[in-house]
Chains A and B, each alone.
Chain A
Amino acid sequence: MDAKDILGLPKTPLPITQEKKPRPQKDSQRKPDGISREVYALTGGLAPLMPSIDASQLKRRPPSDEKITWQWLPFTSSARKDDLQLYHWVRVVNGVPPTGDYSFAKYNKSVDVIKYTDEEYEKYLTDPVWTKEETDQLFDLCERFDLRFIVIADRFPTFRTVEELKDRYYSVSRAILIARAPSPGEVAGHPLVKEPYNVSQETERKRALSMVLSQTKQQERKDAEVLAEAKRIAESRMAAQGAEEPDLPVTSDIGPESVERAIGHGDTISPSSVQVPSAAVAPSTSIMADNASTLASLRMLRVYLRTYALEQMVQAASSSAGLRTIKRVEQTLQDLEVNLKPKVPTKAVCAEHLELRKEILTLLNLQKQLQYKEAEGSSFRDGSYGDMPGTPKRSHRVVDQDRTFVPDAISFGGERAGKREQKRKGPGRVSETPSSPAHKRPRKMKALDL
């Protein structure tokens, strides 16, 4: 179909006579140099925009002055401890085979594992938890397996965790280094001496890492919520302290460990934005905190552009709103013929703009609230359950709202949540319009007849 489009031919099948004409045209279009027709066709029949290989190079290769043969010859490798001779194909130029070691021998690297004497062991290396025999075994394995501790742990005769083995190896090596050094200053720069292996930290780190990796999607969401909440609280605390002593927000150091503790609290904190219907008057304390913290951070900047300040304040004010809500706010602004970004951003204009946006958010929340109440009302009247939005049972309502609004706040993730929403909207619309009395529910400002 594409070829016909390119040639400008109609899509219906043509009589044979007409088909023959375009063919010579096609052949003359294809003019690959240096590569065969089939290879050229692999590229899709079109020349690349930039030649990756010079086409003339492709046929040129064998230089005429050299005589090349391939011979099956023996070779040795310096990487081997024995004298085993193996055979392979060798490219011989003018009867002269190539010289030098086996080309892969240079990759045979190994680690320098320290060897201690029995005397040194008695003097510096005794340990309550480790026998000499075990330590010897450990070092032998370390040398054989080039410090691949996971393999070493597998092969170690008694059960030891990777961290224990590492700890023993590194502390022994460190002790020997220090013992053998003529003066402590000389080895102070050695990485083993400077940063000794910390078992507890490593165990903790690995545990935290595996926890983060094994989090379910829901847990991830919860974590993000809790972190955002913690950040907000810390910033509002910072704002409350005033700009006198700006402390760096401690939240930046929240690692997975503290998140684990916070998760326990996460369920009880329950951001107030979840219970939207009762809190139609949107300004919860979190939004006030956002404003205050934004102002504080702006003040710390010392110099900024008015438009930047407005953007930050707008973001803070819509922090609890989902992407769809924000789009609806912008649509409303457009319907009201207000510039999304003020053309003359003076202090007064920016303040008015911000207030307008907040009022639109309130308006949208009220609209949603009204919808729910009407649906609730009509379900009471009809007395039906099941696929009506806002089913009479209170517990369901909270759960449904949770599903509707939280995905809003977090983006379009979670297909299940999304589908649920669509399902709910469907029957909702159908039943709402006939039964609700006040169905002049203007969705857009244009429908307003004020």
Chain B
Amino acid sequence: MGKPEDTERKKKLKDVEISVPIVYGNAAFWLGKKASEYQSHKWTVYVRGATNEDLSVVVKRVVFQLHSSFNNPTRVVESAPFELSESGWGEFEIAITLYFHNDVCEKPLNLYHHLKLYPEDESGPMSIKKPVVVEFYNEIVFTEPSESFLARVQNYPAVTFPRLPAGFTLPSSAPIEDESKRKRGDTKDHPLNQWFLNFSEADELLQLAAARQQVQAHIAKLRRQISVIDGQNQQFKSSSDQ
């Protein structure tokens, strides 16, 4: 492993990105009869893997910054599942900061989520059993991942592993920790799991493809029309120049 090979490896990694699909949001239960003026809902704000896989392979800790009216509004969650439950009455913006492991990225990433307690349809009855759930899909993109990062996460489903440049080999990852420990971090058996939304890119891709087709056809039509008119105008110009 001489020097030129190392620099070559570093160069190749520059065009590689690794992404982690996540879903973040909240679920809020109305407390019904047990609701008081200041505690009408019990809610949980969370960040989970988009396919409910354990995020702790990448995320070291998550800090949820709540409204200043809460005691100790800065809540730190050191392990998966990265969630925070509280009770209250108001909707406000929660700042969620994700801190990653050292070999992943030294900079934290911020997300902002507006806590939703009340259903969109204000006139409908509020139910104790069915929570108000608002979730957003997003992907964390890491550019120029380090070799150690790539090596460590290569077998974890939470991460969308990139295609590596040809001829590039990674050292094998460290042995996976024992199953029971890993299981706890994922959200596949999470109590709120039944309310989680499904995010499928297929529908959106279809919609976009259809739209692009329409636009492209229209563009072609306009181009034809323009060339016709150009021809006509050319005739006029040449006749008036005489």
Contact = CB atoms under 8 A, between A and B. Distances in A.
Interface stretch (B29-37, B85-93, B165-173, B213-221): B213-221
Nearest to A242: B14
A356 interface: yes
B207 A306 contact: no
Interface stretch (A211-219, A358-366, A396-404): A358-366
Contacts of A438: 225, 228-229
Given A380-B237, A438-B225, A450 B232 contact: no
B208 A302 contact: no
Interface in B192-242: 199-201, 203-205, 207-212, 214-219, 222-223, 225-226, 228-230, 232-233, 236-237, 240
B223 A243 contact: no
A425 interface: no
B214 A448 contact: yes
Interface string B154-184: 0000000000000000000000000000000
Interface string B82-126: 000000000000000000100001110101000000000000000
Contact of B143 (A302, A332, A373, A448): A302
Contacts of B140: 303-306
A336 B143 contact: no
Contact of B226 (A301, A345, A370): A370
Contacts of B222: 363, 366-367, 370
A352 B212 contact: yes
A445 B221 CA distance: 13
A445 B217 CA distance: 11
B236 A343 contact: no
Category for how many chain B residues contact A? 35 or more
Contacts of A347: 19, 139
B50 to A, nearest CB: 9
Contacts of B70: none
Nearest to B212: A356
Given A303-B109, A343-B199, A345-B137, A373 B214 contact: no
Contacts of B147: none
A336 B214 CA distance: 9
Given A303-B105, A305-B140, A353 B215 contact: no
B141 interface: yes
B212 A302 contact: no
Contacts of B109: 303-305
B218 A448 contact: yes
Given A345-B138, A359-B219, A303 B211 contact: no
Contact of A348 (B143, B203, B205, B225): B205
Contacts of A362: 219
Interface in A327-350: 332-333, 336-339, 342-349
A298 B225 CA distance: 40
A304 B219 contact: no
28 contacts: A299-B144, A301-B107, A303-B140, A303-B141, A303-B142, A303-B143, A305-B139, A307-B138, A309-B141, A332-B215, A338-B208, A339-B204, A339-B207, A344-B137, A344-B200, A346-B21, A349-B205, A355-B212, A356-B211, A356-B212, A356-B215, A363-B215, A369-B226, A377-B236, A445-B214, A445-B218, A450-B217, A450-B218
Interface of A: 243, 280, 298-307, 309, 332-333, 336-339, 342-349, 352-353, 355-356, 359-360, 362-363, 366-367, 369-370, 373-374, 376-377, 380-381, 392, 438, 442, 445, 448, 450
Interface of B: 14, 19, 21, 100, 105-107, 109, 111, 137-144, 199-201, 203-205, 207-212, 214-219, 222-223, 225-226, 228-230, 232-233, 236-237, 240
Given A302-B142, A303-B141, A438-B228, 6 more contacts: A301-B107, A306-B141, A336-B214, A348-B205, A359-B216, A438-B229
